[in-house]
Amino acid sequence: MQGSFLDEYNRLEAYAKEIRMTNPEEAAKDLVKFPPQKWCRTYFDIVCKNQMVDNNFTESFNSWILVPRGKPILKMLEEIRVKIMNSKIANLCKLEFNGDLGFEVYEGEDRHIVNIVEKKCSCMSWQLTSIPCPHAIKALRYKNIEPRDEISWWYTKETYLKPYGAKLLPMRGEQF
């Protein structure tokens, strides 16, 4: 975030904080006036793996990967992968096994349900990015599954190089 966008974001954050502190009930009433498809993570599209949506999840993720973002794509993806795998959040989570595939993962007072076969977490991060979230990482480690192996093929070197694999044939010039 930079320039005028950062200023606008800071003003919006200050306004949101003021509303929460002065009258949280009124803030909740105002929020439900808008369709939940526009602001509730439950309704986000989980098919598209592009994080270019306007929401706090994306902004948080972008600020979290600020340093790797400026690097070449493969180096950036590797640094993000390592950062996620070493996520302190995953280490702080508490895990309760809930059957063959289900886990309840507690992050402080928040509880998330993880299904490692369907690659789903109730925080929706795994579905949105196809990269295991810290809750999923905790569950995968419990089952001795390497979290790196659960990252979508969209993020592999092979997938990145596919568009460059085909030969382009020259086209005739403008005068033809």
Residues 59-69 pLDDT 10s: 667 777 788 88
Residues 101-145 pLDDT 10s: 789 988 878 888 999 999 999 988 889 888 888 889 889 988 899
Amino acid identity of residue 93, one-letter, is: C
Helix (H, G, I), strand (E, B) or coil at 161: helix
pTM above 0.85, yes or no: no
- Among 148, 122, 144, CA closest to 135: 122
Q: What is the mean pLDDT of the chain?
A: 77
Report yes or no: 140 and 146 within 8 Å, Cβ to Cβ.
yes
What local confidence, expressed as pLDDT, does residue 53 receive? 47
- Which one-letter DSSP state was computed for residue 153? G
Residue ranges per structural domain of the chain:
34-158
In whole angstroms, give the CA distance from residue 85 to residue 80. 9
In whole angstroms, give the CA distance from residue 51 to residue 49. 6
Residues 2-34 pLDDT 10s: 455 567 667 767 777 777 777 777 777 777 777
